[in-house]
Amino acid sequence: MPRALLMPTEAELPSGPHRRFLEELHLYFREAGRPEIPRILSAAEAAIEDPESRVSLKISRETVRRILKGKTLSTWKRVETLFDVLCYMSGRDPEKDRWAETEDPVQSHRSYVRELWTVAADGVEISGHVPLPAQRNSSHAAQSSAQWHESPNGGYPEEPPF
């Protein structure tokens, strides 16, 4: 009998963007009835044949296992396929608002999962402020530029400034 795919422990996958993404994906996994991987793969094949489904990519057993165990983030296309299959299995419309009971338009299930995946893949927290890359020392840049233009042999030194 196959072992159940459980959400990794905090020791296996510490808090952070990857864990938040996986927690959300596991909501859809649980909603689909915690299917075993062979059932997920069978549903994926059925969904590919269903014109109402958005599933268009086959995914492997190992890809499904590694994504749900938090071993890989994989590509968005593969994650989206798994997400679509889980929604297909549970009868959930992935394009519906995630919080349908609110009056304000909010994100769809798909866009929220995509946002969490993107943050996890980039390794950057969403906090309203994304730090810019460290600025180069402006005095170093000016010195390098001056060195480049002040050479005696027609404006080009023997060695570039880098």
Number of independent structural domains in the chain: 2
Q: How far apart are the first and last CA of the chain?
A: 61
Q: What is the pLDDT of residue 141?
A: 44
**Whether 136 and 101 share a structural domain:** no
**Whether 160 and 92 share a structural domain:** no
pLDDT tens, residue by residue, 105-128: 678 999 999 999 999 999 866 554
Q: What is the pLDDT of residue 34?
A: 96
Let me know if residue 3 belongs to a domain.
no
Q: How far apart are CA 104 and CA 106, in angstroms?
A: 6
**Whether 87 and 144 share a structural domain:** no
**Whether 103 and 143 share a structural domain:** no
Are 21 and 117 contacting, i.e. CB atoms less than 8 angstroms apart?
yes
**Whether 142 and 115 share a structural domain:** no
Query: Does the predicted TM-score (pTM) go above 0.75?
Result: no
Let me know if residue 5 belongs to a domain.
no
Amino acid at 52: E
Let me know if residue 12 belongs to a domain.
no
**Whether 155 and 77 share a structural domain:** no
pLDDT tens, residue by residue, 29-79: 999 999 999 999 999 988 888 777 777 788 899 999 999 999 999 999 999
Q: What is the pLDDT of residue 14?
A: 93
Q: Residue 160: give the domain boundaries.
A: 132-162
Other Cβ atoms less than 10 A from the Cβ of 24: the count is: 18
Whether 156 shows a pLDDT value over 60: the answer reads no
